[in-house]
Amino acid sequence: MAASVILRLQRVIRLSHGDINVVAAGVSSRSGCCWVQSSCRCFSDAADDRRTHFGFETVPEAEKAKRVYKVFENVAQKYDIMNDAMSLGIHRLWKDALLHAMHPLPGARLLDVAGGTGDIAFRFMAYIRSQQERQKHRAARPMQTSPWQDISSSYSTEDEGGPQESRAVVCDINKEMLKVGKQKADSMGISPGLLWVVGDAEELPFDDAQFDIYTIAFGIRNVTHIEQALQEAQRVLKPGGRFMCLEFSKVTNPLLARLYDAYSFQMIPVLGEVIAGDWKSYQYLVESIRKFPDQEEFKHMIEDAGFCCVRYSSFTGGVVALHSGFKL
Ligand SMILES: COc1cc(O)cc(C/C=C(\C)CC/C=C(\C)CC/C=C(\C)CC/C=C(\C)CC/C=C(\C)CC/C=C(\C)CC/C=C(\C)CC/C=C(\C)CC/C=C(\C)CCC=C(C)C)c1O
Ligand SMILES: C[S@@+](CC[C@H](N)C(=O)[O-])C[C@H]1O[C@@H](n2cnc3c(N)ncnc32)[C@H](O)[C@@H]1O
């Protein structure tokens, strides 16, 4: 709540007074009032000054988003095949594990940010369909139902006007990635229920409290202001909604870490060059992984954004971690 108020305040001030920089803001726990501490530094100057990382390079903040855009514009057509090649298909298991942990029920609304070519949204819709099939099978066995099943089905919305509709919105800053995803969905005949939206994780084009689940898979590492993206996740989730993030993390076993480094730095850019004709984008991939916070640090960032019950599971020795939390 406080975080979302602060974000909105910052946005309003940025829009109406381009020359004020909010350096601190908060909400008083007693009065519920917002406070803002500002400095009169020019915004455009500040943006030029601030620097961040793009892989192992240091670049002005404003440049990072542009360079990330170019990376995914360049790799969009070869993105899916590269993932299978680089991970020997293992990325599919990580994504399946995300859906398994999510266990969405029919009617759930998903926002998949940095959704790219749609892998998470496709799995979400398939999972929902399998749940609906299961429900139908149960309903088709009236003789075998117990009294409590009869009672529960009398409360189900399916009896009141068709099955609850699940929707998945795939939101990504890069229209080339979305284009590939949409073409895939059309060719597989799974487009109904899917919406493709161009949007920035740091400033989502959605109203408050719209979604039951927010996912971001292998996306947050590329965002310039991760804290801002986390606050946007808070804002668009309904109270009780769930945040889930799949991202590269830290391999703790020193021997595995050495093998992992060797594979990452010696093989991934080579595969990038051979398959996608793009060494640099895949060098950025492995470098950006090294710059991303480890499991514990990222957990704290999610908590700082206001999520509760934050936890994580590491996969494949820590190559990847799944973090999740709830909006109260
Ligand atoms: C531009 O930005 C991007 C572009 C993209 O296409 C994708 C992303 C985002 C990423 C995803 C959506 C996920 C899918 C992509 C990946 C997993 C690629 C990233 C790869 C790494 C960070 C490297 C580590 C990958 C894994 C541990 C996954 C499992 C892969 C393997 C087991 C393959 C190993 C290959 C072989 C054994 C074949 C032979 C290889 C050689 C002769 C080279 C030398 C081999 C070694 C040194 C041994 C390999 C050992 C390991 C990989 C260590 C395993 C470590 C542990 C289990 C902890 C994007 O942002
Ligand atoms: C590695 S891909 C992940 C795609 C998909 N989630 C998956 O798991 O295969 C990263 C995606 O993040 C997107 N992205 C990067 N910065 C973004 C931002 N600020 N807002 C939204 N999407 C962003 C890129 O365009 C790209 O499609």
Q: What percent of the chain has pLDDT over 90?
A: 74
Ligand 2 within 6 A of CB of 106: no
pLDDT digits (tens, 9 = 90+) for 28-74: 332 332 222 222 233 344 555 799 999 999 999 999 999 999 999 99
From residue 24, alpha-carbon distances to 34, 51, 187 in Å are 11, 19, 49
Binding site annotation covers 208? no
Residues 253, 255: Cα–Cα separation, whole Å: 6
- ipTM for the predicted complex comes to 0.94
Q: Does ligand 1 have an atom closer than 6 angstroms to the CB of 86? A: yes
Ligand 1 within 6 A of 271 CB? no
Q: What percent of the chain has pLDDT over 70?
A: 78
Residues with Cβ within 8 Å of residue 225, at least 6 apart in sequence: 61, 202
Please state the atom number of ligand 2 nearest to the C-alpha of residue 112. Answer: 6
pLDDT per residue as tens digits for the range 274-305: 999 999 999 999 999 999 999 999 999 999 99
Q: Are the C-beta atoms of residues 158 and 166 closer than 8 Å to each other? A: no
The CA–CA distances, whole Å, from 81 to 78, 96, 271, 288 equal 6, 18, 11, 20
C-beta atoms surrounding 42 within 10 Å: 13
Q: Which residues contact 17 (CB under 8 A, 6 or more apart)?
A: none
CA–CA distances in Å: residue 145 to residues 126, 133, 158: 26, 17, 17
pLDDT in tens, 72-82: 999 999 999 99
Q: Whose CA is nearest to atom 21 of ligand 1?
A: 264
Q: Which ligand is nearest to the CA of 98?
A: 2
Rounded CA-CA distance 119/247 in Å is 14
218 ligand 1 Cβ < 6 A: yes
| Domain segments of the chain as ranges | 1-49, 63-136+164-326
pLDDT at 144: 54
Distance from residue 86's CA to the centre of ligand 2 (Å): 18
Decide if pLDDT at 190 tops 70.
Answer: yes
The domain defined by 63-136+164-326 carries CATH number 3.40.50.150: yes
